[in-house]
Amino acid sequence: MKIVRLILGDQLNQNHSWFSTVNNDITYVMAEMRQETDYVKHHVQKVVAFFLAMRNFKEDLSTKGHRFIYYKLNDKKNPQKLEQIILKTIQGINADKFEYQLPDEFRLDQQLEQICSSLNIATGSHDTEHFYTTRFELKDFYKGKKQMVMESFYRMMRKKHDIMVQNSQPEGGKWNYDQSNRNKWKGQPPIPKEKEFVKNVDEIIKLLKNANVQTIGEIDSESFAWPVTREECLTTLDYFCNQLLPHFGDYQDAMHTDKKFLFHSRLSFAMNAKILSPKEVIDAVLNQFYDKITDINISQVEGFIRQILGWREYMRGIYWKEMPEYKKLNTLNNTNKLPDFFWTGNTKMNCLKKAIGQSLDASYAHHIQRLMVIGNFALLTQIDPDEVDNWYLGVYIDAIEWVEITNTRGMSQFADGGIVATKPYVSSANYINKMSNYCGNCHYSHTKKIGDKACPFNSLYWNFLSEKREHFKENQRMNMMMALLNKMESNKLAEIQERATFIINNLDEF
């Protein structure tokens, strides 16, 4: 029986059971497609990373004897659309069956179901063998429960997969060391330089230019350094375990003008493209911890594992539980447009200049920059969540809808009304100053609320709470902030709101 098997650009799992034996009756098809380069305007480094990773994957598996058809973007025979690519491959080898791995994106899932229903040969779908959970495991777990707090899911996952658990109790006595993970980085301990894998990507950049693919951000065609091959990703994991993990948890929330990556792993692209599995990442971290190769405190290890076993699997489960309605949610009725400086980094607000500038330069910002600087500002200025989603989905190297939208629309913009986060992640300058050195060199003063030099976050924060107070009146976690708001003298609040309104109406002047 001749079979065509489709592999999407984020399904680069070399350890998938599909590849355990070589079978000449199976043809694998992969394609660089306009459908995928154009569904949102991506960062140029993101497109380059995916194309490079796909090409390397194909090379590795072809070398092992698997039969591949691979369409480059500029291949004259490339039909560019998924349906035509599948049909052409089926006809080309006169296939009896078409198979695919379940996509992680709703739009591709729908498209593949529709394509299969129109084919007149047998079809079949397979698990990607990547995640710890199945698509609907989270939905089943929360069935009948009022709230979907991540912590309960995370504890279930620790027990189920026997990760840092002894006799059903957490190793070290605590499930969660989040409180210990809140240090500002003040120059010590030294941060090891990130692992780089410099390569020339001129050919792909020319290909994108000639095809007139619209992208955002910057790239140095001679020194693209992200890990994209299996070997490079494994080296990055090893480097993380040896060099960065010992301080990961301590400085997880810290931000610094001169340090883009701090002690973060930079493994999100490797995992989201499925070059590395979450299990092999967690196993490597646990080995490092238990083998006592380096002296690592339990809070660093737990802090890291929570992100992958907890948050990453949780976001995937929420996505499949809530889509497609999730994509339209805008509970706070925010409708403003993103300011132009999201595409230039050209603002006097130092925290945003650095976090956005870094996103445009490197296609990367770490969690707290995405949440408490950029996302915080977008929420306080009441930007339409569609606009915010499009920006995040385009700009980051690791942005794929299932993990982008749940983090952005859910965790960061509270547009889902509290499905993911129990309260909105908003703050004044106080938090940013506590966790970074941004405010020290800023045009604005982090202590002032009004006046030309006052930090915009300060008036925007109180204005947001005041304008959205109806939405939060039942939310107990907001009680303290709302009580402070209610105590504020009305003329002082009016002054703050006047400044906030001016800022919102003139965002690109700030």
Can you give the binding site for ligand SF4, defined by CB under 6 A? 349-351, 429, 432-433, 438-439, 442, 444, 446, 455-457
Q: Cis bond leading into 324, ω under 30°?
A: yes
**How far is residue 185's CA from residue 257's CA, in Å, rounded to a whole number?**
11
**Cβ contacts of residue 466 below 8 Å, gap of 6+?**
485, 493, 497
**Phi/psi at 56 (5° precision):** -65, -40
| Residue 319, token pair as written in the block | 């996505």
Identify residues 253-292 at the interface with ligand FAD (CB under 6 A): 264-268, 271-272
Residue 439's binding partner among ligand FAD, ligand SF4, none (Cβ under 5 to 8 angstroms by kind) is ligand SF4
With respect to ligand SF4, which residue has the nearer C-beta, 305 or 349? 349
Identify residues 367-426 at the interface with ligand FAD (CB under 6 A): 367, 370-371, 375, 392, 396, 398-399, 403-404, 407-408, 411-412
Is residue 89 classed exposed, middle or buried when 0-12, 13-18 and 19+ CB atoms within 10 A define those classes? buried
With respect to ligand SF4, which residue has the nearer C-beta, 44 or 352? 352
Helix ranges (H only) for 161-297 are 202-210, 230-239, 245-248, 268-272, 278-290
Pairing state between β 165-166 and 169-170: antiparallel
Angle (CA) 183 225 406, round 5°:
55
Considering the complex, what minimum distance in angstroms separates the CB of residue 373 from ligand SF4? 7
Q: What is the largest CA-CA distance in the chain?
A: 79
With respect to ligand FAD, which residue has the nearer C-beta, 267 or 349? 267
As a dihedral over the C-alpha atoms of residue 462, residue 466, residue 471, residue 476, rounded to 10 degrees, the angle is 60
With respect to ligand SF4, which residue has the nearer C-beta, 341 or 457? 457
With respect to ligand SF4, which residue has the nearer C-beta, 270 or 442? 442
Residue 367's binding partner among ligand FAD, ligand SF4, none (Cβ under 5 to 8 angstroms by kind) is ligand FAD
Nearest to 218 by CA among 40, 369, 358: 358
Nearest to 279 by CA among 141, 164, 129: 129
> Judged by CB under 6 A, which of 16, 66, 259, 312 binds ligand FAD?
312
**Phi/psi at 84 (5° precision):** -65, -35
Per CB under 6 A, 43 contacts ligand FAD = no
Residue 259's binding partner among ligand SF4, ligand FAD, none (Cβ under 5 to 8 angstroms by kind) is none
Q: How big is the site for ligand FAD, counted in residues (CB under 6 A)?
A: 27
Neighbouring CB atoms inside 10 A of 353's CB total 20
**How far is residue 8's CA from residue 153's CA, in Å, rounded to a whole number?**
29
Considering the complex, what minimum distance in angstroms separates the CB of residue 114 from ligand FAD? 26
Identify residues 453-492 at the interface with ligand FAD (CB under 6 A): none
Residue 432's binding partner among ligand FAD, ligand SF4, none (Cβ under 5 to 8 angstroms by kind) is ligand SF4
Residue 265's binding partner among ligand SF4, ligand FAD, none (Cβ under 5 to 8 angstroms by kind) is ligand FAD
With respect to ligand SF4, which residue has the nearer C-beta, 181 or 369? 369
In a 3-state reduction of DSSP, which class is residue 48?
A: helix
With respect to ligand SF4, which residue has the nearer C-beta, 420 or 454? 454
Q: Which residues bind ligand FAD (CB under 6 A)?
A: 264-268, 271-272, 307-308, 311-312, 315, 366-367, 370-371, 375, 392, 396, 398-399, 403-404, 407-408, 411-412
